[in-house]
């Protein structure tokens, strides 16, 4: 067992020396939020389905603050880190690496799900959302969490996260929003530089939804931010298909103006009767605009009892069950591979 662990560690360390992404690769990907609190079987099942769809990147949560899910929570209290949850993340990274899948890991959440900004504010009896970006106590706790994650050594592979090529990028937060833009921009720059100082090997972005949340150019202009991020949810935002397509094109242009790659980081559409046409057009626009990374919301798989994980938000894609869109996603994956994956 000791020898096997040593050989696995050596394999990952060797790949770490040779396989870092210095730029955002062209990829077809998906989002998956529940991995950190589900069984190893469910983790492996999602990655197997991802491989079947030709996906090479999964964006999944590396955050949970004060809100236990099935007994798992990365940070139950300030400066307190739950080892069983981090061991689950160890497994996620090891399993993804074995299957040739890279991970994008957001480190926090704007929303109250999994704690998010509201939990950080409760810890310090704060009530203004934007105090998250201003209060030094909150920033210190957030930085300490970031450092704990990045400096962790995987208990399965023996590789520090900051040296693991399975991790493609860190995101500062899932869908950050702010009304105090000057302090928000300072926060983005401060946190991105902090991550870069701890880990110069991996890419960094914001996790932003795009213009629906904050001005994209300013949000991503920090030289410590490597690529632009945006999301798209017409069901929630009241966008027509025409406006949705323009939203994609607008963000691709902003990224070009910044001279940075662009990640279409989340998107979904609830009407299963129309989703095929909608996805087909969005993926086509992604080709036309030469968007670097595309990740739909949400890839889910089987539960431990063999049944499909419930479609709680109406956006779920299953493989092979979601026959309305699986061939479109698979075809886009083939297109990406034909372009050459760096």
Domains, in order of start, for the chain: 2-268+276-306+327-339 (3.20.20.80)
For 181-216, give one letter per residue: b (16+ CB within 10 A) or e.
eeebbebbebbbebbbebbebbbbbbbbbbebbbeb
Which one of the listed residues 80, 83, 171, 175 is annotated catalytic?
Answer: 175
52-77 mean pLDDT: 97
CA distance 65 to 114: 6
Look at residue 336 in the predicted model and tell me its pLDDT. Answer: 97
Instruction: Find the distance separating the first CA and the last CA of the chain, reported in whole Å.
Output: 34
Q: How many CA atoms lie within 13 A of 264 on its CB side?
A: 33
φ/ψ (deg, to 5) at 171: -110, 140
Helix (H) or strand (E) holding 243: helix 241-258
pLDDT band at 6 (very low <50, low <70, confident <90, very high): very low
Please give, one letter per residue, the 3-state secondary structure of 245-267.
HHHHHHHHHHHHHHCCCEEEEEE
pTM: 0.93
| Residue 171 is a catalytic residue | no
Render 81-141 in DSSP notation, one character per residue: --HHHHHHHHHHHHHHHHTT-EEEEE--BSSSTTSHHHHHHHHTT---TTHHHH-HHHHHH
Write down the pLDDT at residue 87: 98
DSSP 162: G
> Pick the catalytic residue: 266, 281, 289, 321?
266
Give the mean model confidence (pLDDT) for residues 191-195. Answer: 98
Q: How confident is the model at residue 12, as a pLDDT?
A: 42
Query: Tell me: the pLDDT tens digits for 271-317?
Result: 999 999 999 999 999 999 999 999 999 999 999 999 999 999 999 99
pLDDT of residue 36 exceeding 80, the answer is: yes
266 is catalytic: yes
Residue 172 has pLDDT above 90, yes or no: yes
Residue 22 — very low, low, confident or very high, per pLDDT cuts 50/70/90? low
pLDDT surpassing 60 at residue 185: yes
* Dist CA 75 CA 302 (whole Å): 27
Residues 6+ apart with CB under 8 A from 131: 121, 124, 138
- Mean pLDDT of all residues in the chain? 94
């Amino acid at each position: 067992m000791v020898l096997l662990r040593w050989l696995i560690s050596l394999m990952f360390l060797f790949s770490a020396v040779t396989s870092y992404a210095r730029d955002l690769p062209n990829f077809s990907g998906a989002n998956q939020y529940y991995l950190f609190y589900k069984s190893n079987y469910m983790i492996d099942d999602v990655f197997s389905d991802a491989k079947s769809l030709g996906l090479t990147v999964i964006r999944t949560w590396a955050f949970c603050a004060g809100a236990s899910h099935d007994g798992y929570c990365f940070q139950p209290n300030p400066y307190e880190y739950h080892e069983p949850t981090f061991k689950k993340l160890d497994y996620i990274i090891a399993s993804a690496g074995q299957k040739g899948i890279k991970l994008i890991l957001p480190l926090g959440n704007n929303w109250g799900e999994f704690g998010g900004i509201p939990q950080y504010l409760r810890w310090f009896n704060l009530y203004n959302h934007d105090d998250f970006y201003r209060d030094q106590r909150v920033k210190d706790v957030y930085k300490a969490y970031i450092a704990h994650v990045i400096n962790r050594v995987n208990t399965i592979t023996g590789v520090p996260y900051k040296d693991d090529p399975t991790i493609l990028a860190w995101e500062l937060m899932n869908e950050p929003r702010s009304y105090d833009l000057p302090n928000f921009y300072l926060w983005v720059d401060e946190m991105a530089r902090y991550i870069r100082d701890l880990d110069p090997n991996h890419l960094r972005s914001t996790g932003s939804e795009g213009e629906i949340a904050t001005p994209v150019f300013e949000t991503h202009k920090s030289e410590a931010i490597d690529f632009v991020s945006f999301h798209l949810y017409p069901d929630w935002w009241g966008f027509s298909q025409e406006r949705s397509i323009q939203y994609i094109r607008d963000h691709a242009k902003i990224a070009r103006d910044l001279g940075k790659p662009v990640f279409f980081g989340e998107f979904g559409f609830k009407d299963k009767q129309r989703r095929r046409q909608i996805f087909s057009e969005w993926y086509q626009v992604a080709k036309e605009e030469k968007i670097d990374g595309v990740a739909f919301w949400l890839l889910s798989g089987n539960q431990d009892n063999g049944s499909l994980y419930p479609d709680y938000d109406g956006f779920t894609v299953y493989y092979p069950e979601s026959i309305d869109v699986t061939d479109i996603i698979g075809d886009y994956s083939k297109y990406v591979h034909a372009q050459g994956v760096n």
